[in-house]
Amino acid sequence: MPEYLLAIDQGTTSSRAIAFTRDGHAAASSGRELPQIYPASGWVEHDPERIWDDVRHCVRETLSQLEDGSRIAAIGVTNQRETTVLWDRRSGRPLHNAIVWQDRRTAADCEALAEHEDRIAERTGLLLDPYFSATKLAWLLKTVPGARAAAEAGELAFGTIDSFLLWRLTEGRVHATDASNAARTLLFNIHTQQWDDELLALFDIPRSLLPEVRDSATDFGQTRLFGDLMPITGMAGDQQAATVGQACFEPGMVKSTYGTGCFMVMNTGSLALRSRHRLLTTVAYRLDGVPTYAVEGSIFIAGAAVQWLRDALKLIEHAGDTEGLARQVDSTGGVYLVPAFTGLGAPYWDPLARGAITGLTRDSGISHIVRAALESVCYQSRDLLDAMRADGASPASIRVDGGMVANDWLMQFLADMLGVDVERPGTSETTALGAAWLAGLGCGWYRDLAELSALWRRQARFVPAMAEDRRATLYAGWLKAVAKTRDTDG
């Protein structure tokens, strides 16, 4: 009887389900694009019911592709992080749309708490920013009619998308999350590995709302919604799951994921290293009660810039068109695109910055703008890697994944801009693979991380070929363009 691990990968722009074999091969998959909701400038929401419907559809379609008699050994869940859902415990219905990690509506609330930033950073490893869940949850409790009273009465549940899906998968029997997701809320002490009562008081959030925090590979209950009873034994936020899927298990190893945003994560082992250059300290994963930490740089807009070129500007029909257009010109001709549509992430952390295209001339065309959008991903990655280098890191290579890494031109420019080798794995589905591997650890399919590390395979390596003076000139132009997006005086 064939056996598989099933990964549920709920991302910002799509929901997917993938069935993996023991050696990490994707045997079947299904996906659906997720509509974005923009109620106001800087606001981003998702419909939780649409997410749930899409996940169920993708799981069923994936299972239907497997041969008769196949068995799912375990399910792993990975998710867009920080996105906040508040729901009724009795009915399971959300009280409001999910507030997405990109949403900036609570920028003023964060500013009002600025005097507490050091205390928050010391306990959570995070910066005080609308990116994270706490101020989103506080906004819901303050804004949704009746929410505060219902929360105080213990009638509501909060969760990031993983918790919401787990609640639905287990039909309300399990309200839990894993340490990697809890670490993204601004409410979790990453040193004690507990919800922090002082932070709960600071954000005025009742403890009764919170899910139980578990290891990343453990028992999360079972689902009976797809026929056979299936155990759920793995869970991690998408970037942490990708870190596992890239087998970055040793301190100093770095992976960078290029999806809606870009997220560069460096394993720091048992050390919760506090960055001096505005990177985040986070939990990479927790196994057998022991956390492994990481330093992370977060970029809000990467692949979403290509989506913007397609959907808003109508410059391209398909994301795959960008590589050919970028190759049509030798350079952008001085054009820079700074995709600060929802502010700037690390290392700037400027929620008020807004996007810009600079350097346009009469000679500028679609190819120049498209190439500038792709180059912006690499420049932002350079921002992150330089911050990591300033904190003492010196990686010789970076493992990359996500939908954008199929673009060979982009990967070569990335290697040129970073000045390090860029390694692309045999599977680009490393986020889902990481969730599956965690589920495999949780159900006993795999013995340890060393067994998983032996399964990782490199598909391609991109070696820096750009002259240093050219690299420096291009990056200096990027820094000037970024400065203009932050010039609030115009």
- Mean pLDDT in runs of 10 for the chain (490 residues)? 93 94 94 94 94 97 92 96 96 96 92 94 93 96 96 96 97 97 97 97 96 98 93 96 95 89 90 86 96 91 87 88 90 94 84 90 93 94 91 87 90 96 91 96 95 94 96 96 75
For residues 376 and 478, what is the distance between their CA atoms, to the nearest angstrom?
8
Assess whether the previous peptide bond of 347 is cis (omega < 30° from 0).
Answer: yes
Binding residues for glycerol are 81-82, 131, 238-239
Q: What is the spatial distance between Cα 205 and Cα 188, in angstroms, rounded to a whole number?
A: 12
444-450, Cβ contacts within 8 angstroms, sequence gap of 24 or more: 445/5, 445/22, 445/73, 445/74, 449/247, 449/249, 449/287
The DSSP 8-state label assigned to residue 130 in this structure reads: T
Burial class (CB in 10 A: 0-12, 13-18, 19+), 308: middle
Binding annotation for ADP? 12, 16, 260, 303, 403, 407
Residue 490: per-residue pLDDT: 42
Task: Decide: 400 and 258 in contact? Cβ < 8 Å.
Answer: yes
Q: List the binding residues for ATP.
A: 12-14, 260, 303, 307, 403
The Cα-based distances of 90 to 56, 145, 151, 167 in angstroms read 21, 17, 13, 11
Could you list the residues known to form a binding site, using ranges: 12-14, 16, 81-82, 131, 238-239, 260, 303, 307, 403, 407
* Domains of the chain, each with CATH number or no CATH: 3-236 (3.30.420.40)
